[in-house]
Amino acid sequence: MSEEKKQIEQIRQSFQTAFAGFVHLHKEIKDLTLADAESYQRELAELKTKHTGKKSELANSKKLIGRVAPEERGAFGSFVQSIEREITTAIEEAETNLKNFIADAKIERERLDVTLPGTQPREGHLHLLTILRQKIEDIFVSMGYSIEDDREIETDYYNFDALNIPEGHPARESQDTFYTTNGFALRSQTSTVQIRAMERRGVPIRIIAPGRVFRRDTPDLTHTPMFHQIEGLCVDKNITMAHLKGTVGEWLRRLFGKETRIRLRPSYFPFTEPSAEFDFSCFKCGGTGTFESERCRPCKGSGWIELGGSGMVHPNVLRACNVDPQVYSGFAFGFGLERMCLLMYSLDDIRLMFENDVRFLEQFR
């Protein structure tokens, strides 16, 4: 074999070794990931430049054609050409395979079955206390009340003095009320909003004030140191206890049905005179005390459910808000939201409401 032919043979050898390595890598083409295939495609392009590009040994070898004896030139030329064809064919075949594979993989990746059912996002819902609060708010708003929101950290003046709660009253003692280190009280009742609202809006006024209140109670079945109350206040000329009974009755009838009756029992609160606790006929037994021939649970067989406190706003409270008790009178009431929720859903532990166990909460949509 001539020297030139040997050189060509070497070029062919070195290509075949390199290509064999490459082919070995992409033999199992159907098992490649799209990213692998794309990186092999880049490698193949490098291989192609190296072995067939302008600066490749193959391109260089064409100069050898001129060096061989004229009578051998023809045969040598076609030899070089055949090697060149062999190399380019091998590369082109690999290129085509990879290109087809990549195209198919892309189509597969973008395949979309429009007949498949969609994935539905899990929808959340409001907390049961919020649901009940909003129901009650809606009822009062429809009766012309507005909703008043106010601060949870109060001075003694708003939490006690202005509400006619004198020094020495048990509610003022610190075992009931949380105090901040600089002497502010966490409000222990929403009645504070009565004062704030009258100062801000003057009279006549009709508001309800839902909100958090805080008391130094150890958590148990019926106590948590934070709970919610809803306060109501109506002040105008000629407001009487009849308006109180009518309003509370209307609200509870809308919530529990039109057969619901209410009753007021004489009581004492510093900020009302006279004061009364209000009860309503049990929503479960209809006031009979018996449900499915057993002692009714929510009302404990009494037929009545005790809900909250109420009364005619004390003249001292009106005076503290610059309202003349000779001209204006009003009623107020307040009750705990958690207690109402416990009764309505027959729950026996108030703490369930704040543990945020989704399995519990999901039952009350």
Quick check: 238 and 361 in contact, CB under 8 A? no
Task: Give the residue from 217, 218, 200 showing the smallest Cα distance to 209.
Answer: 200
Taking the C-alpha atoms of residue 98 and residue 105, their distance in angstroms, rounded to an integer, is: 10
* Token representation of residue 218: 């150890």
Task: Give the residue from 31, 54, 53, 32 showing the smallest Cα distance to 41.
Answer: 32
- The interface region with ligand DAH, picked from 52-60, 68-76, 150-158, 307-315 by CB under 6 A, is 307-315
Q: Is there binding between residue 311 and ligand DAH (CB under 6 A)?
A: yes
Of 192 and 260, which CB lies nearer to ligand DAH in the complex structure?
192
Number of H helices, E strands in the chain: 12, 11
Shortest Å distance, C-beta 125 to ligand DAH: 29
String marking each residue 188-217 x if it binds ligand DAH according to CB under 6 A? -x-x--------------------------
Q: Is there binding between residue 333 and ligand DAH (CB under 6 A)?
A: yes
Q: Is there binding between residue 269 and ligand DAH (CB under 6 A)?
A: yes
DSSP 158: H
Shortest Å distance, C-beta 185 to ligand DAH: 13
Taking the C-alpha atoms of residue 131 and residue 136, their distance in angstroms, rounded to an integer, is: 9
Question: How far is residue 336 from each of residues 2, 191, 302, measured CA to CA in Å?
Answer: 108, 12, 20
Q: Is there binding between residue 329 and ligand DAH (CB under 6 A)?
A: no
Shortest Å distance, C-beta 306 to ligand DAH: 12
Shortest Å distance, C-beta 156 to ligand DAH: 16
Shortest Å distance, C-beta 229 to ligand DAH: 6
Measured over all CA atoms, what is the biggest interatomic distance in the chain, rounded to whole angstroms?
Answer: 136
Q: Is the dihedral of CA 102, 104, 107, 110 positive or negative?
A: negative
Q: Is the dihedral of CA 242, 248, 254, 259 positive or negative?
A: negative
Identify residues 88-107 at the interface with ligand DAH (CB under 6 A): none
Is residue 263 classed exposed, middle or buried when 0-12, 13-18 and 19+ CB atoms within 10 A define those classes? middle
Pair type for strands 185-186 and 153-154: antiparallel
Single out the residue of 159, 177, 260, 310 in contact with ligand DAH (rule: CB under 6 A): 310
Single out the residue of 4, 195, 334, 337 in contact with ligand DAH (rule: CB under 6 A): 334
Q: Is there binding between residue 227 and ligand DAH (CB under 6 A)?
A: no
Q: Is there binding between residue 76 and ligand DAH (CB under 6 A)?
A: no
| Total residues in contact with ligand DAH, by rule CB under 6 A | 12
Q: Is there binding between residue 272 and ligand DAH (CB under 6 A)?
A: yes
Shortest Å distance, C-beta 360 to ligand DAH: 27
- The interface region with ligand DAH, picked from 96-104, 178-186, 286-294, 302-310 by CB under 6 A, is 302-310
What is the contact surface with ligand DAH in residues (CB under 6 A)?
Answer: 189, 191, 231, 269, 272, 308-311, 332-334
